[in-house]
Amino acid sequence: MKVVLFSSLKFLAYFVNIYFSNAQEEKPYFSVLEKKDQITLNEDYSVNYKSQTIIEIFDQRGLAHARLNLPSDGLNKINNFEATLTSLNSGKLIKKVKLRDLKEVSYLDDVSIYDDTKLKVFELDEVSLPVRVEILVERVSLSNFFIESWLPITYYNQKVKNAGLELKYPQILGLRFKEEGLPSSYSESKEGNNILYKWEMNNLPVLISGSNDTIPIIEIAPKRFSLEGYTSSMETWEGLGSFIGKLNRNKDELPETFKSEVLRMVEGINDPYEKVSVLYGYLQKNYRYVAISLGIGGWMPRTASEVISTKYGECKALSTLMKGMLSAVGIPSQYSLVYAGENAKGLNKDFPINRFNHAFLRVPLDEDVIWLECTNNYLPAGFSGDFTMDRDVLVITEKGGYLDRTPDFKDEKFNTIEIQFEVDLLNNGDAKLSGRNKYLGFPSLDYFRINKFGKEKQGKDFLNKYLGGNGVILLDYGIQTGSKREIPLANVTYEGVIQRFGQETAKRIILPSHWKKLEEDMLPNGILKLEEEFFIRLERKFEMESQVIDVKIKEDYFTYWVDTQLSEDGIMVKNKLEVKLPEDISDEEKIKLVNKINNQFQQYKLLLKKAA
């Protein structure tokens, strides 16, 4: 432990109190925050943001709590930035930071060739602790199409001493907000033609990552909004959908020559899903994803004709092209908006708000509905993985829009692993290995990526680590990927050696009844069916010392079967694990359950006595 000398007894008492409080609450925090924010909507639809923040940091893990990413583009301007760093040991000024000192990075990744959004980044680097950071930021957005939510607590493991918000807007435009998890109510007043709301809160509870604690938030949305000359209403989902529909109008029209080509692609095919699959495969093979975000282009797709000509597009453009191709063969589809990736939050049917970052397609087929992720170039039509799984979606129609929800893929057919192998047990406890595994749905995705992007060594390294238990050294392998309608599947064949498959003592050898260890990432949506069947061929004579295992264990969230059969040639082992986690399980509870299941695997061993 590092010992720090303090310049005053007063500060030492304060510092000790901070960590003593941590011990009492059993929720460690790495920084203390004070903040006062102002959000002002103006009659010209612009929005001003002013933030005054004080952060006192006592732990290296709290340095990230001072990081800011400030957008700067055609719609977002940074008017002022000031930061002052002061040592809490000596009280001396460390340095001051101005807007010109901030580093600038691109908002999107290397696939973006058209992008006008930059981030001005403030972060602490090589700062002696403890430190006090005072920050003033003044920004303006030229559109109220997206109004930032307000969070009194901005990071996990952060103690909020006090936080306040002033939200002001002109009555003529109106504004809506929705509170969640706030510890105090607001006050309301009138200033001329403006309405002013104020929130004040003190000593908020520390939030810990992975817990089920509610994150306090105020979501803010306009009634009427404007984006580069396009004005509409956001009071209903139909109104927001109507706005998106205006931006998309006629963008999916195909050139006649290309339309004829599309019709030839599906000639002789009657099954609507097969038609979708063929056209989706064509899109995947011939068009690449390139993110484009220039002003309103962040919301308005390019025309299908442009995409056909350039052979690239972002989610909006590729979805629009796919929509046009489906329309050409008589299959209707709807352009849809979703919050993709991590940290997705459910939408409230009574609180329309722009909380989307991605576009894709909804395709109704007879009594079924599939969703097409048009930026993916290797998954089958109708399977989008966890990128857009189980979340609310705004479906755009000719009359406006409505909310729908994507599938959760909780059926076993999307979460199955079937492992079959044989081992020839050697005298030293090692084993020759030969097998074939089948992965359906989520478990197959890594093998699709290996086939698409990986090299042979990367594939072998991955299989050595994740194929089964420890000690695998592959000599040869093969991966075949495909699909069964919308279910992605991968078949993996392999040969190699398992080191120390059996644990040998002077008189006996101990063999496992289960090989594949359960990992947390094998449960992306809380469902798994894992079946193992393996035959152990013995090199010399052994006698069974333990009884043949035949058990079934049923717990709250999982069921596990083990069955073993002894023959003259060896031992056949069959086991099956079925997991179904509750929706509200925390990360901590999930880890405990995975450990419990793995411990269950270890309880049943095969004991063989060496024959005389």
SS3 content of the chain, % helix, strand, coil (to 5): 25, 40, 35
What pLDDT, on the 0 to 100 scale, is given for residue 8?
Answer: 28
Residue-wise pLDDT for 166-176, tens only, equals 999 999 999 99
Residue-wise pLDDT for 273-323, tens only, equals 999 999 999 999 999 998 766 556 578 899 999 999 999 999 999 999 999
Four-CA torsion 509, 514, 515, 517, nearest 10 degrees:
-130
What pLDDT, on the 0 to 100 scale, is given for residue 156?
Answer: 94
What pLDDT, on the 0 to 100 scale, is given for residue 566?
Answer: 82
Give the whole-angstrom CA distance, residue 333 versus residue 365. Answer: 9
Of 414, 386, 409, the C-alpha closest to 488 is: 414
Name residues whose C-beta falls within 8 Å of residue 149's C-beta, 6 or more positions apart in sequence: 217, 218, 219, 220
Question: HEC string of 26-62?
Answer: CCCCCEEEEEEEEEEECCCCCEEEEEEEEEEECCHHH
Kindly indicate the confidence band of residue 602, based on its pLDDT and cuts at 50, 70 and 90. Answer: confident
Phi-psi sector, 41: left (phi>0), alpha (psi -120 to 50), beta = beta
What pLDDT, on the 0 to 100 scale, is given for residue 165?
Answer: 98
Give the whole-angstrom CA distance, residue 187 versus residue 196. Answer: 8
What pLDDT, on the 0 to 100 scale, is given for residue 118?
Answer: 85
Is residue 481 within 8 Å of 490, Cβ to Cβ?
Answer: yes
Give the whole-angstrom CA distance, residue 598 versus residue 587. Answer: 17
Average pLDDT along the chain? 89
What pLDDT, on the 0 to 100 scale, is given for residue 114?
Answer: 47
Q: Could you write out the DSSP letters of every residue in 69-106? A: EEEESSSEEEEEEEEEEEETTT--EEEEEEGGGSEEEE
Within 97-249, residue ranges assigned H as helices are: 237-248
Least confident of 12-16, 41-45, 325-329, 469-473: 12-16
What pLDDT, on the 0 to 100 scale, is given for residue 342?
Answer: 84
Least confident of 115-119, 521-525, 573-577: 115-119
Q: What are phi and psi of 137, to 5 degrees?
A: -130, 130
Query: In this predicted model, which residue has the larger pLDDT, 528 or 545?
Result: 528
pLDDT beyond 60 at 518: yes
Least confident of 99-103, 333-337, 341-345, 587-591: 341-345
What pLDDT, on the 0 to 100 scale, is given for residue 561?
Answer: 94
Angle at 194 between CA 191 and CA 199, to 5 degrees: 80
What pLDDT, on the 0 to 100 scale, is given for residue 428?
Answer: 81
Q: Which of 218-227, 287-296, 465-474, 599-608 has the highest mean pLDDT?
A: 218-227
Compute CA 524 distance to the chain's CA centroid, rounded to the nearest angstrom.
Answer: 10
pLDDT beyond 70 at 107: no
SS3 472: strand
Mean pLDDT for the stretch of residues 363-380: 94
Mean pLDDT for the stretch of residues 410-437: 92
Mean pLDDT for the stretch of residues 335-346: 90
Kindly indicate the confidence band of residue 111, based on its pLDDT and cuts at 50, 70 and 90. Answer: very low
Q: pLDDT > 90: what percent of the chain?
A: 70
Of 53, 23, 51, 52, the C-alpha closest to 39 is: 51
What pLDDT, on the 0 to 100 scale, is given for residue 297?
Answer: 59
Give the whole-angstrom CA distance, residue 298 versus residue 320. Answer: 14
Of 230, 241, 222, 221, the C-alpha closest to 337 is: 241
Give the whole-angstrom CA distance, residue 612 versus residue 603. Answer: 28
Kindly indicate the confidence band of residue 465, based on its pLDDT and cuts at 50, 70 and 90. Answer: confident
Residue-wise pLDDT for 177-189, tens only, equals 999 999 888 999 9
CA distances from 522 to 5, 443, 470, 525, 578 (A): 48, 7, 17, 9, 12
- Residue 178: CA atoms inside 13 Å, Cβ hemisphere, count? 11
What pLDDT, on the 0 to 100 scale, is given for residue 455?
Answer: 80
Give the whole-angstrom CA distance, residue 443 versus residue 230. Answer: 44
What pLDDT, on the 0 to 100 scale, is given for residue 292?
Answer: 65
